[in-house]
A and B are shown apart, each in its own frame.
Chain A
Amino acid sequence: MITIAIAKGRMQEDALALLSRSGVRLSEDALLSRRLALGDESGNYQFIFVKPADVPVYVEHGIADCGVVGRDVLLESEPDLLLPLDLGIARCQIVVAAAEPDVMTKDFGMLRVATKYTHVASNHFGARGIPVEIISLSGSVELAPALGLADLIVDLVETGRTLRDNGLTVVEVITESTGRLVVNRASYQLKAPAITALINALNATINGAAHA
């Protein structure tokens, strides 16, 4: 039995679709239920649905053998996990955005950066020697510049619509993010045949989709 942790939200639907095309299916009933732990049709897999930031936690502790989670989450928490596959789903970018695009070059005072990604943001600005004050928020980050809480934000952008609607423009792309398969290091050894089979099946689906 392999336990797979799936990040709830943006990633969930794409991840389940990809797994289903790779032969790991949840029944209709299961999908409609609101239970957070479900078995697949074959009985070989168990799914747990948790908040994105908790996926690496469950997998690192070996409660889940593997997980599907965005690269943005992994960059933020830097868990000690295997990353055998880029699933190519839920593609987006982590960007620096501002109301006034020239804010970064205008003056050299301390910039205030509002973000959910405090670790990514401080690494990014730290590596460039740009002095910033990081303000940690847990949501609606796009509001911060308009209300005067911050000069910049660092956030995840899929289409850019939310940014535009809140009068923000992208100043810099920090990195790309897609859904990744993550695997616990011990499970990789102790459940090698089952994990390898899952990786191969997903890999075949991804490459098949790329060629089609």
Chain B
Amino acid sequence: MRYYIGSEARLRRAVEDAAMSVFDGWCYEEVITPTVDYYALFEHGMGQMEAQRAFRFSDNDGRLLSLRPDVTSSVARAAATLLSERPRPLRLCYAASVFKQQQQSHAEWRRESTQLGCELLGPGGTIADLEMLAIAAEILSRLGLQESYCITINNVEIFNGIAAHLDLDESSREQMRQLIDTRDAAELRRFLMAYKTSTAERDLFARLTQLTGKREILNEARRVITNSRSVAALNALEELWTAIESVGLQDSFEIDLGDVSGLDYYTGLSAKVFVRGAGARVGRGGRYDRLTANFGQAEPAVGFVLDLEALTELVGRSEVSLGGNNGREVHVIPARDVSVTFATAQEKRAKGERVRIEFS
């Protein structure tokens, strides 16, 4: 539970406004989704495991409701239903609170947080992915964080190709995913020994999942990852990297082949946003081309969210000023004759000044 009062609230709103104005600059339309919705929506939209973190309760007729644990599910449903006839691409953005249960011990533990997010529905491919990343980068720069953020990118199909190539069953796939996710190189090498791999391949692959870096990571990856599905994903990632370089953002981006946290959700690009000074990631996103199919109309989609509270804290600690009406002069008007006092106040306010009526 967290209050924002006075200058803190003003700062939080300024951060929100900065993000929304960047979205607006890229022609994203604001969407306001229901706070309470059927639980089934989020089960379809987020997958059963993630949706379980939602706060659930029942409606009068016994159907299960939920406070929204994410916004994307709701946007995807609207895209497939309400907005199915609208011309594509569909560009939507939001600033909305989401509610999740989480173990209290965890750093990211908050029942309520606010997502600043956007979704681009219709187009697939590199340029759409780049648009997402460029928007995220622009928001972070607008907040004065251009020197201190790092966005990692990966393509989940690289892992999926390897898992398919090794013919892993579901539990082994999950085991390998966890070993990569926690960067446990020694265990990963041991795990791979059960499969037809050479020592050199195992060492290189284990090292790859530990490294983050620029284009050279992809060249190293090609030496050990040769199945066609993963190679296609490496090519896509390289194309995206080239695009990132061509817009001059490569210093703030890293390729991280060890990011395998959203495998069942993302279908291509997976990105995470880190900012110096924040102990946990402040945003994430990626491509989810299978998502809208759950609501009856399949189409490519890509999006990301940033955490408003985390960004507010970072901006609050920095020296950057986001404006706000802090500096405007205040006229103090003594409360004597009501008609005079209120008439004066109205006159001042009409000129854009701030007034404070002083009670004696």
Contact = CB atoms under 8 A, between A and B. Distances in A.
Contacts of B184: 83-84, 86
Nearest to A56: B105
A85 B186 contact: yes
B173 interface: no
B52 interface: no
A63 interface: yes
Nearest to B211: A196
A57 B103 CA distance: 12
Nearest to A182: B182
A81 interface: yes
Contacts of B279: 60-63, 184, 186-187
B256 A83 contact: no
Nearest to B276: A190
Contacts of B150: 189-190
B105 A57 contact: yes
Interface string B163-183: 000000000000000000011
Given A61-B107, A186-B274, A189-B274, A84 B185 contact: yes
Contacts of B320: none
A81 B281 contact: no
B248 to A, nearest CB: 20
B256 A84 contact: no
A179 to B, nearest CB: 14
* Size bracket of the A interface: 20 to 34
Given A84-B185, A186-B280, A190-B150, A79 B274 contact: no
Interface string A52-77: 00000100111100000000000001
A62 B106 contact: no
B108 A80 contact: yes
Choose among A83, A187, A192, A196 the residue with the greatest number of B CB atoms under 10 Å from its CB: A83
Nearest to A206: B186
A54 to B, nearest CB: 11
A82 B182 contact: yes
Nearest to A77: B105
Interface in A176-209: 183-190, 192, 196, 199
Contacts of B276: 190
A190 B281 CA distance: 10
B72 interface: no
A18 to B, nearest CB: 15
A183 B280 CA distance: 12
Contact of B105 (A63, A79, A83, A196): A79
Contacts of A60: 105-107, 279-280
Contact of B280 (A62, A77, A85): A62
B210 interface: yes
Interface in B269-283: 272, 274-276, 278-281
Contacts of A183: 183
B210 A84 contact: yes
Contacts of B152: 189
B114 interface: no
B212 interface: yes
B254 interface: yes
B186 A185 contact: no
B182 A81 contact: yes
A82 B183 contact: yes
Contacts of B274: 186, 189-190
B73 to A, nearest CB: 23
A21 to B, nearest CB: 18
Given A62-B279, A62-B280, A63-B279, A188 B108 contact: no
B137 to A, nearest CB: 15
Contact of B183 (A61, A188, A190): A188
B183 A80 contact: no
Nearest to B103: A78
Given A79-B106, A83-B183, A86-B186, A185 B256 contact: no
Nearest to A57: B105
A182 to B, nearest CB: 9
Interface in A28-71: 57, 60-63
Choose among A61, A62, A188, A189 the residue with the greatest number of B CB atoms under 10 Å from its CB: A189
Nearest to B210: A84
17 contacts: A60-B106, A61-B107, A62-B280, A63-B279, A80-B107, A80-B108, A82-B183, A83-B184, A84-B210, A186-B274, A186-B280, A187-B279, A188-B212, A190-B275, A190-B276, A196-B211, A199-B210
Given A184-B279, A196-B210, 5 more contacts: A60-B279, A80-B106, A80-B107, A83-B184, A185-B281
Closest 3 CB pairs of A and B: A62-B279, A60-B107, A83-B182
